[in-house]
Amino acid sequence: MPNKVDLKPIYHLWIIGFIYILPLLITNSPYYDDIGRSVYGYFSWGIDGRPFSDIIFETIDLGSPATDIAPFPQILAILIMTTLCYFIHRYLNPDHSLGWLVFTPIFLSPFFIQNLAFRFDSLTMSLSVAIAALPLFFMRKTKAKLFAVSALCAFISLSLYQASLSVFMAAVCLYTLFSIKKGSDPYNLLVEASIAALGMVTGYIIYSQLIVPFFVTSDYANGYNQIISSVAELYNNISVTINVLSSFFTGTIAIVFIVIGLLATLGLIKLLIITSKSTLSNGRKAVSLLLIIASLAVILVCIPGPGLALKSMPIGPRVFVGFGFFISTLLALISFISTRHQCKLNVIYCLLAVVSFSYMATFTNAMKSQDKLADRIVYGVTNDIVKIGYNNIKTITIDGKSLYSPIADKAIQKSPLMKQIIPSYFDGPLAWGIVKMTEIYSGKEQPAPARQNEIIAGICEMQLITDAGLYKTYFSNGDLVVSFAFRECK
């Protein structure tokens, strides 16, 4: 039996994945939280409800304090994601020789770029996605085994990265669509999907009772624990989701996806016709048609995932893990159009891969230029600190947000989604640039937000130290302000 397994696709996927992530590895830049973990040596995923991330990373990092072992976690992350795509292909669509291309958006998703950019988190995020998809491979097993695996995988996945929960249902829905295409009994499919969903809910309940009360202590995580209580809040979250997605579907990318959407519609129509003309009884045909529509609706909801039900909906691209599965669903529908013209349809999948490679390259070059800009600011402000006297400065406050470099600005003009993934290290209270300054022993504490507002309100009474064009620095009574707000003081 092992000799009959075609391993060529997995080698192709590994190569594609490595080439795709290569720009990130070459850029080799810490990304947001990476800076704090590298400088201060903390793990601290547990306080956000991800204790298994602490355990895994402390193990491969050989204990505390946290040290940067990139690009090892990122390489492991892309290997996990590409291998997952291979097994999904082998389980759902093994007869299509290049069918593995259908599942490449799972890791080529523009929204997943941010997950891969994290030098620390990328590994556990990818592992969470793979574990969330694992029940897919137990759909044809006994009911008890499917339920147990679903509950266990949901629990582990949540304990690694909560946003991956959307992957669970997206994988089940993909299985349902492919099974209906192959003429599987819809009643059995409905039972399997229901058991998997029940297992997922059970896993979530166990997580909420065992992990949340004992580990979640950060304000960041607690802010995302409140469920919406009105239809108006749901509408607002839907509106936010549409705004985030529309920031990606622009220009040439929008045209490419319009073509993909139209072809996927043809594939859906073909699937509906095949189902309605099948030899199944009318009752089974009706259930099959309902399962098709329900699966597509659920996969659509899986784009924002569990965040859709939260009062404070997270809108960072990294939480839109389900987007890649949504695009894979569109490509799967396209593959349903014809079995005779698979080679022609493969061109569409390859075109989408080219778009993804271009997007990744644009992001990494913009990030590299933004890093150079941040370094310029760090060294400029450090010189000001030397000028004033290191011991004379007690706090640093960031006023406003630093501009994007021209290269990053052009990337954002082309695709506004880039604004959310290109790092801005000097951004008001979220000033990772201050942490970057600690790398060269020139960083200082930031005051509490209320105190920062007071300091900024009196900025015109402070001494102007430097007007660097890009920013101005002010100093008074131990407080240094780096202002990007271009304020005019008279």
CB 432 within 8 A of CB 32: yes
Average pLDDT over residues 340-366: 90
Q: Which pTM was predicted?
A: 0.94
pLDDT digits (tens, 9 = 90+) for 71-111: 999 999 999 999 999 999 999 988 887 889 999 999 999 99
pLDDT score of 97 = 76
Query: β-pairing, 395-399 with 479-483?
Result: parallel
pLDDT at 3 over 70: no
Considering only CA atoms, which of 416, 413, 415, 452 is closest in space to residue 431? 452
User: Is pLDDT above 60 for 59?
Assistant: yes
Q: Strand 472-476 to strand 395-399: parallel, antiparallel, or no bridges (unpaired)?
A: unpaired
Report d(CA 328, CA 326) in Å as an integer: 5
- pLDDT above 70 for 169: yes
- 3 by DSSP, 3-state: which? helix
- How is the chain split into domains, by residue range? 2-337, 389-483
The residue with tokens 């490679």 is 357
Q: How confident is the model at residue 346 (pLDDT cuts 50, 70, 90)?
A: confident
Q: Which of 200-204, 218-222, 365-369 has the lowest mean pLDDT?
A: 218-222
In sequence order, the 6+-apart residues with CB closer than 8 A to the CB of 213 are none
| Burial (CB count within 10 angstroms: exposed 0-12, middle 13-18, buried 19+), residue 60 | exposed
| Count of beta carbons in the 10 Å neighbourhood of residue 429 | 13
pLDDT at 219: 73
479-483 and 472-476 strand pairing: antiparallel
**pLDDT at residue 1 in the model:** 36
Grade residue 478 by pLDDT with cuts at 50, 70 and 90.
very high
Q: Which of 89-93, 159-163, 218-222, 392-396 has the lowest mean pLDDT?
A: 218-222
Q: Sign of dihedral through CA atoms 82, 125, 234, 176?
A: positive
Peptide bond into 71 cis (omega under 30): yes
Beta bridge partners of 467: 472
C-alpha to C-alpha distance for 132 and 210, rounded to whole angstroms: 19
Q: Collect all residues with Cβ–Cβ distance below 8 Å to 11 and sequence separation of at least 6.
A: none
